[in-house]
Amino acid sequence: MKELYLISKGQPKVPLEAEVIKPDSLAGLSTEEIANLIIYRGNRRVRLGEYFEVKGESADNPEELRIIVEGDVSRTKYIGAEMSAGELIVNGSPYMYLGAWMSGGKIVVNGNVGDFAALEMSGGELVINGNAGNYLGAAYRGNWRGMSDGLIVVKGNAGAEIGSWMMGGKIVVEGSTGPFTGVHMSDGIIVVYGGLGPRAGAQMTWGSIVVYGYAPELLPSFSFNEVIPAVEIEEERFEGPFIEYVGDLAEEGEGSIYLLEEKNKHLKPQ
């Protein structure tokens, strides 16, 4: 695997849009060609090289390329957007739309990510070793088709409406989630190890939310089903015991929310 370094020279006030930072776009190019690629600063076209120093060597195929982004990318959007292969490591905290529409390959972020990361993801893997923003693995604004496959792991907390309109795949949040976790979801799994935000699973019709942390409340349109020792979802076993709620009944939904009994006794009917 060849390694290519993109080292941030600093960030402008107006955000950059750099969807070319992905193995699919950079494979087969020389460092000079890469530096001459066009990115957007606001609505202006600028060279990638103006904001990033390009070092290392690119590979012929995206599968054999690891891109390592170093430094301040806090105003750079669309890093890894529509990525389908290879590896991308971001040692920093990228701005919005990281890995949006990604269909393959792996992204690791050693930092926090902005909103709309892994939007409508259809494959591959995203690991965030920090916090995620709102709309992680959600649908694009207006769309009713969200994440369909792939894996997202967040070591920290995640914001509001993660996995909204989710149709498949898996999101694991080791910390807590914000409001409307898995809103409108129709399939897939969301696993939350920390606290579950309010109104989780609103309008969900199918799929599962597994919660190992504390859920202060659920929507009244979810009904208690049973207490079960463990649950198996898509060949993966989650040890409980869990309190299972089913909903969203307002949508005649049959989604499940599994709450670890030990932490959520207040939600167990007496």
Partner 1 sequence: MTKHMILIKNGFVYDPINKIDGEKMDIAIKEGKIVDPKKVKEKEAKVIDARGKVVMPGGVDIHSHVAGPKVNAGRLFRPEDGRRQVRPFGQGLRAETGFSVPNVFATGYRYAQLGYTTVMEAATPPLKTRHTHEEMSDTPILDQGAYLILDNNWVIMEYLKAGEYEKCAAFVAWMLRSMKCFGIKSVNPGGDENWGWGKNISSVRDRVIYFDISPAEIIQGLIRVNEMLGLPHSFHIHCNNLGLPGSYTTTLETFGLSDGMPISPKVGERSQNLHVAHIQFYSYGGEDWKTFESKGDEVAKYLNNHSNITVCLGQVTFDETTTMTADGPFEYLLQSINKLKWINRDVELETSSGIVPYIYRPRSLVNAVQWAAGLEVALLTKNPWQIMMSTDHPNAGPFTRYPRVVKWLVSKKAREETIAKCHETLPNRSSIASIDREYTLYEVAVVTRASAAEALGISGFKGHLGVGADADVAIYDFNPEKQDPSREPEALEKALSRALYTIKRGHIVVENGEVVGDAPKRVFWADICFDEELEKQVLDELHETFAKYYTVSMSNYPISEEYLVGSTPIKITSK
DSSP state of 160: T
Per CB under 8 A, the list member of 29, 70, 140, 153 interacting with partner 1 is 140
Nearest approach in angstroms of CB 158 to partner 1 is 22
Nearest approach in angstroms of CB 142 to partner 1 is 4
Question: How many of the chain's residues bind partner 1 (CB under 8 A)?
Answer: 9
When the beta carbons of 125 and 161 are compared against partner 1, the nearer one is 161
Smallest Cα–Cα separation from 75: which of 100, 41, 105, 103? 41
Per rule CB under 8 A, is residue 220 in the interface with partner 1? no
Per rule CB under 8 A, is residue 139 in the interface with partner 1? yes
DSSP state of 120: T
Per CB under 8 A, the list member of 10, 142, 229, 269 interacting with partner 1 is 142
Contact of 194 with 205, CB cutoff 8 Å: no
Enumerate residues 6+ apart whose C-beta is below 8 A from 15. 41, 42, 75, 76, 77, 95, 96
Per rule CB under 8 A, is residue 143 in the interface with partner 1? yes
When the beta carbons of 140 and 238 are compared against partner 1, the nearer one is 140
Question: Strands 223-233, 38-41: parallel, antiparallel or unpaired by DSSP?
Answer: unpaired
Residue numbers at the binding site for partner 1 (CB under 8 A): 40, 43, 45, 139-144
